[in-house]
A and B are shown apart, each in its own frame.
Chain A
Amino acid sequence: MEHKFISDANLVSNYIKGDESALEILVTRHKQKIYSFIYSKVYDRDVAEDIFQDTFIKVINTLKRGAYNEEGKFLPWVMRISHNLVIDLFRKNTRMPKFDNSGDFSIFSVLSDNALNAEKMIIKEQVESDVRRLVEELPEDQKEVLMMRIYNDMSFKEISDRTGVSINTALGRMRYALINLRKIIDKHNIVLTN
């Protein structure tokens, strides 16, 4: 191609003067070198693509603003920009590590969605309603303490104030309530699983 004989410096100066095709020649001429350089650092095609794009956006902005000093070093200058962007990327990644999920190991095998699926939701509801029914079987004083503690989320201090018994009595009733619940569950072979 005849373009090849035009030096980078001339192309840059033509581009600054408004010749858009000069940029095309520059990009075509150097894209492989720059992209390979970025890829050799990041080892990820998509990331390399992003950095390549950001590099040239910076190049275009700088040239259009007339902030570029022509010293006959267009390629080293572009390389330096991409190098700095690669460093920025690594800095960002160490601050906010990202897990690459492309390999054999899937991150989702160790991380799970905590939200319950439909089946687990039904099981949970069943278990909760079973427990409620079992609680109803408890003696009144134990039931009262257990309801306040578990369902109303009250402290033993508050329970003792409300019921007019000492904290130790409230603690004792809670203990017996749990023991009795376990007894009923064992006795009737009830399976509560979630």
Chain B
Amino acid sequence: MAKLYPENSIENFNDLKPKEETVNFLLNYSKALSVINYNKMKFEALLN
């Protein structure tokens, strides 16, 4: 009997990439985030 494989198994993992919007979100998040140091305390501020 022929062996059945689901299509997923032949999918090449190396071609996978995250969506452009996810990457853009991260870059924008990074730009918006600033960490403020005050008396050994750190505060995170997200500024848009």
- A and B assemble together: yes
Question: Are A52's CB and B22's CB within 8 A?
Answer: yes
Total of A-B residue pairs, C-beta within 8 Å: 56
B30 pairs with A60, CB closer than 8 A: yes
Contact of B26 among A39, A60, A66 (CB under 8 A): A60
Known A-B contacts A32-B14, A36-B13, A43-B8; A49 and B30 likewise in contact (beta carbons under 8 Å): no
Using Cβ atoms and an 8 Å threshold, which residues of chain B touch A64? 30, 33-35, 44
> Does B10 lie at the interface of the complex (its beta carbon under 8 Å from any beta carbon of A)?
no
- Which residue on chain A has the smallest CB distance to residue B21? A49
Are B17's CB and A31's CB within 8 A?
yes
The 8 Å CB contact of B17, one of A23, A32, A53, A56, is A32
Min C-beta distance of A23 to chain B, whole Å:
5
Residues B1-35 near A (CB distance < 8 A): 8, 13-14, 16-19, 22-23, 25-27, 29-31, 33-35
Which residues of B come within 8 Å of A, CB atoms? 8, 13-14, 16-19, 22-23, 25-27, 29-31, 33-35, 42, 44
User: Given the complex of chains A and B, what is the CA–CA distance between A40 and B13 in angstroms?
Assistant: 7
Contact status A39-B16, CB under 8 Å: yes
A140 to chain B, nearest CB (A): 69
The answer to whether A36 and B26 touch across the interface, beta carbons within 8 angstroms, is no
Q: How far is the CA of A27 from the CA of B24 in the complex (A)?
A: 10
A sample of 12 cross-chain residue pairs with beta-carbon separation below 8 angstroms, ordered by A number, consists of A32-B14, A35-B16, A35-B18, A40-B13, A52-B22, A53-B22, A53-B26, A56-B26, A60-B29, A61-B44, A65-B35, A66-B35
Query: Which residues of the partner chain A approach B17 to less than 8 Å between Cβ atoms?
Result: 31-32, 35
